[in-house]
Structure 1
Amino acid sequence: MGRDFLALLRPWQWTKNLFIFLPLFFALKIFELDLLIRACEAFVFFCLLSSAVYVGNDFFDLAEDRRHPAKRNRPLAAGRVSVKQASTALVTLLFLGLTGSWLMGPLMLALSILYLLINVLYTLKVKHHAIIDIMFIATGFVIRIFVGGVATGVTIYPWIVVMTFLLALFLALGKRREDLIISTMSGEKTRKSIEGYNLPFIDAAMIVMAAVTIVAYVMYTLSSEVMAKFHTHQLYLTTFFVILGLLRYLQIAMVDQKISDPTEVILRDRFLQMAIVGWIISFGLLIYLR
């Protein structure tokens, strides 16, 4: 029961909330203990809200999940966690997450409520409409960036919002590709929005988003404003790891065809992990060891 309850909360999805720390990292204040503690508090409360969203989704998607080849094994869909138990978990998570957000300030509470509203809209309506569905997913990542900024009081620059949105769109397209393949192989329409996608479209969109993300990142690293802020002209070197990570994700999606969920892919693929760690270390050394 304990393992099933934990699976209901999807703790591996909490890695998405690491985006909360990015504003602090780019503000050159990641080692300021008081701000880091604030970011950690925001991370914890947002993890509670994220889990609440997943539990809520499982409620609304119960019939759909039972038809899905993989999702039918989820605790609620499989009957290993009762509706009453899941309801109790949902209320508890919402109470703790919103209370914690309220204690961090009105802006933090407003962002938390906005995040919940976007996910409710997604679950009830938006997820059935192709293209708009992945736009909403990407917006959820952008909200995490603003949560990090509000929690720590650091400035949110437009480029970090744009880059986060582009990257999230790219990752979401990979997930839709897998949904389409599963739907085709099983003969079941696992989600309504799949009708608005096909493999040529998704493959082309992923390639375009990867290219746009790379170009945007290169422009960012070569920006005179950015070079002046970080006092270095070498940030363009970190593009190597960005390209490496994006190409690896494309390879997993189009060659290996193994993207069940972007978060799970990142957690299990050593190549992607090395690209991410390589980027963090190289970028961090360039901006912190000036």
Structure 2
Amino acid sequence: MNMQVNTVADPAVDETDPVPLVVDLDGTLVNSDLLIESAFMVAHRSPHSLVKLPNWLRSGKATLKAELARRADLGIADLPYNEALITFLRAEKANGRTLILATASNEKYAHQVAEHLGLFDAVLASDARTNLSGQTKLDALRAHLDGGAFDYAADDDVDRVIWRHARKAVLVNADAKLTAHMRDESNLGDTFEREHADWRTWARALRIYQWAKNGLIFVPLLAAHELADVGTVAMALLAFIAYSLLASSVYLLNDLVDLGDDRQHPRKRERPFASGRLPILHGALAIPVLILAAFVIALFLPPLFWLVLATYYVLTLAYSLGLKQLALLDVLTLAGLYTLRIIAGGAATGIELSFWLLALSMSIFLSLAMAKRCTELLVMKEHSGDAPLGRGYVASDLPPLRSLGTAAGYTSVVVLALYINSPDITDHYSHPARIWLLCPVVLYWISRIWLTTLRGQMHDDPIVFAARDTGSRVCVLLGALIMFLAL
């Protein structure tokens, strides 16, 4: 078996000589992959173009990259740059060293990055005919440098063929296995380690804290007083797990299609994928795994639950890819998605749902969805101007949104009052008149939500705010006490 050893174009070059430093782009200069980013952006902004993907792939990766780049304008200034590496490159540049950007990314993005940073003396990148990766990149470098020596900074296993011919291998964001290989194969230079992502980073990406929303699946059990039935509770628990896994897949998808918009948001830019703390390829691979797990669990539940789960996913996919950009239709969709969780609970347990429960749910969650949009408008107006990115609203929409949101919230109190007066109430409560005390509690809570929103103190998600807010917790406890006393 032949082993390819490390060779340098000019062995006489001293290791202290300032030979050109060649720098890779994806995963090295930026903590991201511009091919995957451009694919998700096209899926978001021009989904009809995706039908052409098979033809582009048949024509080769160079064609695929060129076609995606033609349709996707990435926010180059907002990319998650490797600041430690850039600081190093600036110092090398100040010392008179030649810097070359050599990347398999399309030339459009490569030149935009080079122009933004102002560091590189030359740019070598893929075009519509050539995918500049591996051996092809090495050949292009040799031709550009007339066979001269160079150092090479990169992050991936595909770069080993280039490192073997570089004077020094500069490892950036390389894993332990690759680092061990390179110690044996090449002369190691500087190393730049990636910030290690732990379970907490993945918990943020999967939005584990958002799983609390899926507690709505248990609402039908509470309303029907079925919590003592172990079998019914077990079915609801399986539904909760399936729904949570599917919801996390949607959160990942949202983060990947919204990368550009999130990076311009003062808080969302710190999300794991937008900030580069997690590789976006890992997120893209996790999505189908979560979907498959959710639907496998759903097989143990009634067919109606499977149908509700599928409806939820289709609706969330439509929301992620377009509905959230349509004013008013977006908040109606959000309210519907919350109500679907309650319907899912009924489908999983076989409990018949009350009209009153569904009407109450739509009213409350429509109000909270509008509070969410008002919060986004207030944040973007304060930090960068008129409108929240990727949304169909402008700053002047704040007054009508506030009016519509509070009206929807107070409508829920009216629905609750009508329910208390309905014949249905006597089926479950011995003292239904005592439930009237719940009306002022709900009225106070809705008013508190909107006062907090308009003061600019609301969390990005009002549901998360309510789960953490002491006043909201007190309202829940009071509500539970009132319902208990009405039994």
Shorter-chain TM-score range: over 0.9
Alignment of 1:92-111 (within 5 A): 92-111=289-308
Counterpart of 2:476?
276
CA apart distance, 1:240 = 2.8
Counterpart of 2:441?
241
CA apart distance, 1:229 = 4.0
Distance in 1 separating the partners of 2:431 and 2:423: 10
Counterpart of 2:461?
261
Distance in 1 separating the partners of 2:210 and 2:446: 20
Counterpart of 1:36?
233
Question: Size of the alignment, in residue pairs?
Answer: 287
Secondary structure, counterpart of 1:78 in structure 2: coil
Alignment of 1:81-96 (within 5 A): 81-96=278-293
- Between stretches 171-180 and 187-196, larger displacement belongs to 187-196
Give the TM-score, by structure 2 length.
0.57
Counterpart of 1:167?
364
Distance in 1 separating the partners of 2:463 and 2:222: 21
Q: 1:146-186 CA deviation, whole Å, 9 max, x = no partner?
A: 11101111111111111111110011111101110112112
> Given the alignment of the two structures, is residue 209 of structure 1 paired with residue 405 of structure 2, yes or no?
no
User: Could you tell me whether the CA contact under 8 Å between 1:179 and 1:194 is conserved in 2?
Assistant: no
CA apart distance, 1:10 = 0.4
Secondary structure, counterpart of 1:76 in structure 2: coil
Q: For the aligned residues, what is the CA RMSD?
A: 1.6
2:355 corresponds to which letter in structure 1? P
Secondary structure, counterpart of 2:263 in structure 1: helix
Counterpart of 1:23?
220
Q: Which of 237, 242, 252 is matched with 1:55 structurally?
A: 252
Distance in 1 separating the partners of 2:394 and 2:460: 19
Counterpart of 2:318?
121
CA apart distance, 1:197 = 6.1
> Given the alignment of the two structures, is residue 286 of structure 1 paired with residue 486 of structure 2, yes or no?
yes
CA apart distance, 1:8 = 0.2
Distance in 2 separating the partners of 1:256 and 1:268: 16
Q: 1:184-242 CA deviation, whole Å, 9 max, x = no partner?
A: 11225423312386221122112211221111111111223313442323221222321
Distance in 1 separating the partners of 2:288 and 2:215: 24
Secondary structure, counterpart of 1:156 in structure 2: coil
CA apart distance, 1:15 = 1.1
Alignment of 1:169-208 (within 5 A): 169-187=366-384, 189=387, 190-195=389-394, 198-208=397-407
Secondary structure, counterpart of 1:208 in structure 2: helix
Give the TM-score, by structure 1 length.
0.94
2:210 corresponds to which letter in structure 1? Q
User: Could you tell me whether the CA contact under 8 Å between 1:252 and 1:259 is conserved in 2?
Assistant: no
1:47 corresponds to which letter in structure 2? S
Q: Tell which has more relative contact order, 1 or 2 (C-alpha 8 A, sep 6+).
A: 1
2:311 corresponds to which letter in structure 1? L
Q: 1:45-79 CA deviation, whole Å, 9 max, x = no partner?
A: 11111111100111111111111111111000001
Q: Which of 277, 280, 284 is matched with 1:80 structurally?
A: 277
2:357 corresponds to which letter in structure 1? I
Distance in 2 separating the partners of 1:156 and 1:23: 7
Counterpart of 2:355?
158
Distance in 2 separating the partners of 1:203 and 1:133: 16
- Between stretches 246-255 and 152-161, larger displacement belongs to 246-255
Structure 1 residue ranges (4+ consecutive) displaced by more than 3 angstroms after TM superposition: none
Question: Which residues of structure 1 form unaligned runs of 5+?
Answer: none
User: Could you tell me whether the CA contact under 8 Å between 2:377 and 2:395 is conserved in 1?
Assistant: no
Distance 1:285 1:39, change over 3 A: farther
Counterpart of 1:68?
265
Question: Which residues of structure 2 form unaligned runs of 5+?
Answer: 1-196
Percent identity of paired positions between Structure 1 and Structure 2: 26
Point out the structure with max Rg over C-alpha: 2
User: Could you tell me whether the CA contact under 8 Å between 1:130 and 1:196 is conserved in 2?
Assistant: no
Distance in 2 separating the partners of 1:191 and 1:5: 25
- Between stretches 252-261 and 116-125, larger displacement belongs to 252-261
**Larger relative helix fraction:** 1
Distance in 2 separating the partners of 1:228 and 1:267: 31
Distance in 1 separating the partners of 2:448 and 2:369: 15
Secondary structure, counterpart of 2:351 in structure 1: coil
Distance in 1 separating the partners of 2:243 and 2:391: 29
- Between stretches 87-96 and 49-58, larger displacement belongs to 87-96
Distance 1:40 1:285, change over 3 A: farther
